[in-house]
A = this chain, B = another copy of it.
Amino acid sequence: LIIIGGGEDREGEKTILRDVVRRSRRGKVVVATVATRDPEGYFEMYDRAFGELGVAEVVNLEIRTRCDALDQARLQALEGAAVIFFTGGDQLRITSQIGDTPVEWKLRALYESGCIVAGTSAGASAVCETMLVRGSGRESHRIGDVEMAPGLGFLQDVVIDQHFAQRGRMGRLLGVVAENPRVLGIGIDEDTAIIVENEARFEVLGTGAVYVVDGGGVTQSNIADERTDSVLSIYDVRLHVLSSEDRFLLPTRRPEQVPVIPEALPTAEAAAVAGGE
């Protein structure tokens, strides 16, 4: 599961998309453009980017209506996918169009058999159990000023927010975590991704940061006491900011540094070291 905060580099180094391709061994990429109203435009952009990264087969999973998600031809397009890549757009389009359809069942089966599911921006929000749908940026959270909806459910106990620092979304993510500290809030910057392995841990990739908002130790908040529109008050949030040398263990909610693997020594030196000389 690869969750991208939007705005990933598609023309330069393409660090994140390159990593997606590397992990899938250049296998077939299905670009799921269901979130967007411009599926052709998005598909062209990703077709070019993945093509430049050496992927031979890139197909467009274009679903404009819920009927499309019942279509046999689209199910066949998914066959043999190594990557399903959800583009940006509107996360509610993803879940309302494919939720509980043969396309969703097929996606889940592919994921369970090892296919990479990746999502950026709206696609990032949609992959979790609960997704953030709407809420203000660039201001502090006001109670009631956030909307959530059931997501695709590939990752439990987590709510993702994207374009995080760029759109000043700390307030709304705190609002979500205040509502139920069972969910961990994960805010992902643009051109930044988390690579989730076994639903148990993630690493960070890209040029920005990932914010983990852990409400487990919260001692007080006014989320349930106050009327709508009051400013959120919350005490004792634990916050971690992670960059590309960090990883995070979900079951224990602990960050740690990615161990540095020492570079292999040149052979002669290695022999000398081995020989104690």
Contact = CB atoms under 8 A, between A and B. Distances in A.
A56 to B, nearest CB: 34
Contact of A257 (B220, B239, B241, B245): B220
Interface in A117-176: 137-141, 164-168, 170-171, 174
Contacts of A24: none
Interface string A191-227: 0000000000000000111000000000010100000
Q: Is the interface of A mostly helix, strand, loop or mixed?
A: loop
Interface residues of A, number: 38
A48 interface: no
B222 A243 contact: yes
A257 to B, nearest CB: 7
B171 A139 contact: no
Given A138-B165, A140-B241, A208-B231, 18 more contacts: A138-B167, A138-B168, A140-B165, A141-B209, A141-B241, A166-B168, A168-B168, A174-B241, A209-B233, A220-B257, A222-B245, A231-B244, A233-B241, A234-B240, A235-B240, A236-B238, A237-B240, A239-B239
